[in-house]
Structure 1
Amino acid sequence: MIIRFKPGIKAEELTGIRRKLTELLPGSDFVSGRGFVTVTASAPELLSEQLAAIENLPGIYSTDLSVREACPRVVKAAPPDLDALFKKPGRDNFIFIAGPCAVEDAASYLAAAKKLKAAGATALRAALFKPRTSPYAFQGVGAKGFGIIEKARRSTGLAAVTEATSELQLSAIKNACDIVQIGARNMRNYELLKAAAAVRLPVLLKRAPGATLKEWLLSAEYLLKYGNGEVILCERGDSFSKPDKRGLNLEILRAALKTTALPVIADPSHAAGDRSLVPAQALAAVKAGADGLMIEASLRPESALMDGRQTLNIRAFSELVKQIKKLRAL
């Protein structure tokens, strides 16, 4: 932590600050500079726990916690076995999560699930609850879709990833699915993060558009602090010149891979917003080191109730899987 002092601070104030810091952060090392002090804590959690008390000291101008100091559990996390988390045969530790943006009906979803498995999917995207900007837009089939997911799991043997938009959905998701997703809109929903951690299913955590690396990893820190060490990070893109266009933030993806041993995957479908751009985004994520991909793919994207424009058909998904496997074999 770097603590900066206000300009013109008096010598007696500095003495008082140093004395108080020693009390608040026992066992820490302090290195003073001109107008600041650098603190290396004996336990990084102490810095966050005492941050408010430090900022309230007279003469303090600002404090700066590094990502590693703010997220000690994320930094120290042991890498979970991706293949085991997704109940996947083989040992390549790379995941293809595929499926339509949302489950719409049993017949089309079950048919798509079988074809997606044959095309190379290693897990199913199985969204039932959809947070939408417009209250008039399709909100997902809701709880009545759990039976559809169970049939798809049985018929394909693939794990199912389902988004929770409310704490009330978690117990049903635990009984019917394999991985719970916290979507980009809920990355900062800290009560939902605490509740999801308690369910003891693996959690796939998407980065909110515009969120910094520290903000994203602090949300993961919630999951680890509240008892869930099986966390998968998912980069899903930022907005650029046009509000309906997105792009993967590969800089943040690479930074996450350097900071933690937790797996980091990418969602090129939401990042691109256009199916013609999805393959290039997917390949770029793999080149950047991503541990897997979440791809929107279905039988008839052109008739989807949502996000059809960014959804691949089965043939395009199959070709993309082949390209990625060839790339990873280099």
Structure 2
Amino acid sequence: MIIVMKLETPSGEIDRVFEQLCSHKISPKICQNQHKVIIGLVGDTAEIDPKQLQNLSPFIEQIIRVNKPFKRTSLEFRYGEVSEVVVSTPNQPVIFGQNHPLVVVAGPCSVENEEMIVETAKRVKAAGAQFLRGGAYKPRTSPYAFQGHGESALELLARAKEATGLGIITEVMDTADLDKVAQVADVIQIGARNMQNFSLLKKVGATGKPVLLKRGLAATIEDWLMSAEYILAEDNPNVILCERGIRTFDRQYTRNTLDISAIPVLRSLTHLPIMIDPSHATGKSEFVLPMTMAAIAAGADSMMIEVHPNPAKALSDGPQSLTLEAFDQLMKEMVVLGKFFGRWSHNNYPLTIPKTTTRVATTMSI
């Protein structure tokens, strides 16, 4: 349930209403958007009569009951206004959100050594990325597969950050490693396999740091949004949703199935920013570019692209990783489509914009 206050409501009146609501054994939360002050009521509101609440103040404009199981995550909780996640990076603040330029995250699946991660960071930054991704702790299907270098890899990410000024996105798998990861990461990633690790979600939410929440392998959209609710319930509104492909019938030709339809569905349900990871979704580098273009056209706010200096020798996920040169080309094509949809800024892309390419020209003419 949310209470929408009138535009001219004095701050003292909002405080008075807030105090009155606290006596109802619920947790009121104040949310200020561009036009309204909204008080969200979190807890068991089934027995609360909206007519009684209306009598609390003549400045109450509207009372809306949120019927979805995810409350703070819902679009109604912000009265239809989308949220922004602002991340402070060494270079400049970066904003994830529907009304802002696309944010590009790029880097290898795993941090392998200092030369590799620093070289990759410099190249993806030169191409226009704002964040470096790289795994220090890697959840793998097989216990015998490379699991990441752990804490030493975090130190290498910190060196890459210092050398380039890029923001860092890296995954945490265990609450025991959370403090170490939070010291290096500007955005803490929750991987697909941990999407419903609720104790981990609570701990990560309590850090107050921005969180990238990947969709589980077989998670419904409601499952996914309920996991986001755990983080927001810790008074951490800084959540970015990442669609990275789901399990379907056919796994012969792609690793997973990228659910492009999740983008417009999420737009109708939640205020949170949306990222797309076409690398994990397809599992094959040759499909990354067309799926990136499709995601931009569908309205994604951010892209996560796997990039490796030598994918053939990568310790993990080589087949889905772009070479440095291929990433340069991807960015050149992204800038044209991004500008077409009004989702690009000159700050994103320091290189010379190409005249056009056959693939982008075809996309633009559809």
Aligned pairs (5 A) from 1:264-279: 264-279=274-289
**1:152 counterpart = 2:171:** no
Contact 2:243/2:259, CA 8 A, preserved across alignment: yes
Equivalent AA in structure 2 for residue 151 of structure 1 = R
**1:219 counterpart = 2:227:** yes
Q: Which residue of 2 aligns with 1:18?
A: none
Q: Which residue of 2 aligns with 1:199?
A: 207
Q: Which residue of 1 aligns with 2:84?
A: 80
What SS is found at the alignment partner of 1:239?
coil
Q: Which residue of 2 aligns with 1:123?
A: 131
Please identify which structure carries the higher helix content. Answer: 1
Deviation at 1:194, TM superposition (A): 0.3
- The one-character-per-residue Cα deviations of 1:68-116 (angstroms, maximum 9, x if unpaired) are 6211101225612446579646774321110000101111111111111
Larger radius of gyration: 1
Aligned pair count reads 278
Contact 1:68/1:259, CA 8 A, preserved across alignment: no
Structure 1: distance between partners of 2:309 and 2:244 = 23
Deviation at 1:290, TM superposition (A): 0.4
* Identity of matched residues, %: 39
Residues 270 and 247 (structure 1 numbering): CA distance in 2 closer, same or farther, change over 3 Å?
Answer: same
Structure 2: distance between partners of 1:86 and 1:255 = 34
- The one-character-per-residue Cα deviations of 1:38-60 (angstroms, maximum 9, x if unpaired) are xxxx957426999xxxxxxxxxx
Residues 74 and 191 (structure 1 numbering): CA distance in 2 closer, same or farther, change over 3 Å?
Answer: same
RMSD: 2.7
Equivalent AA in structure 2 for residue 262 of structure 1 = L
Structure 2: distance between partners of 1:165 and 1:193 = 10
Q: Which residue of 2 aligns with 1:14?
A: none
Residues 148 and 67 (structure 1 numbering): CA distance in 2 closer, same or farther, change over 3 Å?
Answer: farther
Q: Which residue of 2 aligns with 1:302?
A: 312
Contact 1:253/1:290, CA 8 A, preserved across alignment: yes
Structure 1: distance between partners of 2:263 and 2:90 = 21
Structure 1: distance between partners of 2:141 and 2:47 = 36
Equivalent AA in structure 2 for residue 237 of structure 1 = G
TM-score (norm 1): 0.78
TM-score (norm 2): 0.70
Deviation at 1:323, TM superposition (A): 1.4
Q: Which runs of 5+ in 1 are unaligned?
A: 1-41, 51-65
Return 77-86 or 298-307, whichever deviates more.
77-86
Return 312-321 or 91-100, whichever deviates more.
91-100
- The one-character-per-residue Cα deviations of 1:225-274 (angstroms, maximum 9, x if unpaired) are 01211111000011233336212111222211222221101000000110
Q: Which runs of 5+ in 2 are unaligned?
A: 1-39, 49-64, 341-366
